[in-house]
Amino acid sequence: MAGQKTFYLETFGCQMNVHDSEKVIGTLEQQGYARVETEEAADLILYNTCSIRDKAEQKVFHRLNDYKALYKKGKRFGVLGCVAQQEGERIFERAPYVSLVSGSASYRKLPEMLVQIENGATRVTGLDDRQTEETFETEFTARSNPHRGYITIIEGCDKFCAYCVVPYTRGKERSRRSESVLAEARRMAETGFTEIQLLGQNVNSYKDPEGKRSFAELLTAVGEVPGIRRVRFTTSHPRDFTRDIVEAIDGVPALCDHVHLPVQSGSSKVLRLMGREYTREQYLERIGWIKSAKRAISITTDVIAGFPGETAEDFEETLTLLNEVQYDGVFAFKYSPRPNTPSLSMPDSVADEEKSRRLQILMEHQREIQRANYEKHVGQVLETMVEGVNPARGQVVGRTSQNKTLNFTTTQLIAPAPGVYVPVRVTKTFPNSLVGEAVQ
């Protein structure tokens, strides 16, 4: 790699992967690498991977196959993240042109791994046991957005849901010291960030290693950092969702009016098969806490269609749950068997065609619920954080505290810059977005 060293990084998966990639980019840049926009222009090609669903995993290997010819031109490939941790050195057998395989807990060791690759090593691994707390803090982080930033407060998962590979790829739950979280939040505020999103596979399962703050108390403390106007958190597990979280949202204006609370199924029987550790009734109790808040809190969720053993009656219970909760958004997926998970050996598998049919019904059902929910915003004035401009539509693109996209027009000659907060009156709605006019 003579002269300027270059790298290309593509990220697959969740916000935690996005934030992990920010850490990787910062580390690479510190090591003298320059980021480029295409695989062809890079010396080092990296894919930060997700293994939560088979489709995401296969997409990575397809991408590797598409560009393997670049290996003969001296390019080097690396697989990072969950698929790297899950498959380990088997990746070298499946894709022999890959030179680096590293799980997320090993990113602090990237500098020494890069040196090995630069010196000609063809099989370099970073596959820690994922128990280390060093995963939270990397010396260099290249944040992609100067106004909104992520802070990982808890890594891993102890829940072992029957369908989920996360405990095997991210390891056991380990929380970051609350003082460390607050120190990073203050640094971000001092450099101009106004929105912070706290991250974790089960973010509300957070347990301060020093016992100083509960999750709700940490939320409150971050929300009170001077300069921070919005605080979000994802993803919550219903078992560990407590009433004091809602009380914190009610009591601290900076905490956003949005809770993402994955349910996965509306059937208590299916929830038991999934190992979700709560019933439909217990989940709805938590929804009741959220709906009894002093301010309107948007609720979104995740649903799996066609889990092994899910009958037509079970699926109908999921549809009735959508009716009862009235979600503002549902991320729905067909059940996807994952390596090492208990669901692989479960009987009564649902045919793929039936999974697809149920998923389509669910999405159409939710679309109508969202259409009605979004229409309720017409006439309201909502504070909107500007994210950019859509020149084709002549609109400014923004996001509300409830995490809803709000595209709006303004009479100003110059559109407000990204990161600016604008009051916007909603004039029109779609199932997945709002339209409005800036209030002068």
Domains in the chain (CATH in brackets) are: 5-126 (3.40.50.12160), 133-374 (3.80.30.20), 381-438 (2.40.50.140)
DSSP H helices, 67-205, are: 82-87, 90-94, 110-118, 166-170, 178-190
Residue 328: the pLDDT is 98
Omega before 311 cis (within 30°)? no
Order of all β-strands in the sheet with 44-49: 33-35, 5-11, 44-49, 76-81, 98-102, 124-126
Residue 47: the pLDDT is 94
Residue 134: the pLDDT is 54
Residue 255 is classified by DSSP as: B
User: What's this model's pTM, rounded to 2 decimal places?
Assistant: 0.86
The answer to whether residues 176 and 136 touch, using CB atoms and an 8 Å cutoff, is: yes
Residue 1: the pLDDT is 43
Residue 135: the pLDDT is 53
In this structure, the strands spanning 148-155 and 124-126 are unpaired
Give 332's contacts (C-beta < 8 A, 6+ positions apart). Answer: 302, 303, 304, 305, 359, 362, 363, 366
Segments in the chain below pLDDT 70: 1-3, 128-140
Residue 349 is classified by DSSP as: P
The answer to whether residues 427 and 435 touch, using CB atoms and an 8 Å cutoff, is: yes
Q: Is 61 in a helix, a strand, or coil?
A: helix
Residue 365: the pLDDT is 98
**Which residue(s) pair with 150 in the sheet?**
197
Residue 129: the pLDDT is 57
Helix 243-251 and helix 280-291: axis angle, to 10°? 20
Residue 279 is classified by DSSP as: -
**How far is residue 125 from each of residues 20, 202, 286, 339, 435, measured CA to CA in Å?**
17, 27, 43, 21, 49
The answer to whether residues 310 and 274 touch, using CB atoms and an 8 Å cutoff, is: no
- Which of 211, 150, 205 is closest to 179 using CA atoms? 211
Residue 53: the pLDDT is 72
